[in-house]
Amino acid sequence: MSLPENVHQAEEYLGFKFKNKELLFQALTHRSYSFEKDLSVTNEKLEFLGDSVLSLVVTEYIYHKFPQLNEGDLAKLRANVVNANFLANIAKGLHVGEVLLMGKGAEQTGGRARVSILGDALEAIMGAIYLDQGMEAANKFILKHFKSLIDERESLGQFGDPKTRLQELVMAEYGNIPRYRTVDEFGPVHDRNFVVKVYINDKVWGHGVGKSKKKAEQDAAKEALIKFESESK
């Protein structure tokens, strides 16, 4: 069958020419498009493959690049960059949302900008690149777009404290930043405890308790991060 113009446009955006362009067509095919067009192909299996390819490439890179990190820190660093929000941000930079093949209903409900859809599509593209031209090509493509992010995360030492990470994710998703409000204090003067709530778009996403406002804010950010990243999957 003749491939949609989206496929050729995607190659331009990605800076990658496929030998088998049907693999890219599959990577761009959201299930809503398949349902609407009565097709048997979707990008879900390629997304499954691409997730593993991405994880392997990032793991190998950080293993060799940061020999001073122990297993736990390597795992934290990998998790910090291999997540739906960062994937979606990279996908946006590559205009993936513009070339996705999507059903009208999914498109009308904001599917082209949805974090989970963009992240899954980018992983499907990585899977397609791997099948089309092998691990070396996939490695080159992934590191081209992830290397600076990985190095930046590692340079933070703790890979970004919860408040910093939450602010980055909220800014990327909503274009604003979380707000922290001290809602209570208790205990004697020499042993004060503070209760803080964190708000995203005027909705409470987490609360924390600590011996200082800073500690309470960090705890509130941790709770908010769990909810925020869970809802973005």
State the catalytic residues: 51, 123
Beta bridge partners of 186: 193
CA-to-CA distance for 184 and 182, rounded, in angstroms? 6
Cα 73 to Cα 21, 56, 64, 86, 172: the distances in Å are: 39, 16, 14, 19, 25
Q: Which residues have CB under 8 Å from 162's CB, separation 6+? A: 218, 221, 222, 225
Residue among 112, 110, 146, 124 nearest 45 (CA): 124
List, as one string, the DSSP characters of 68-106.
TS-HHHHHHHHHHHSSHHHHHHHHHHTTHHHH-B--HHH
Residue 187 burial (10 A CB sphere; 0-12, 13-18, 19+): exposed
Amino acid (1-letter code) at residue 103: G
Edge-first strand listing for the sheet containing 203-210: 179-186, 193-200, 203-210
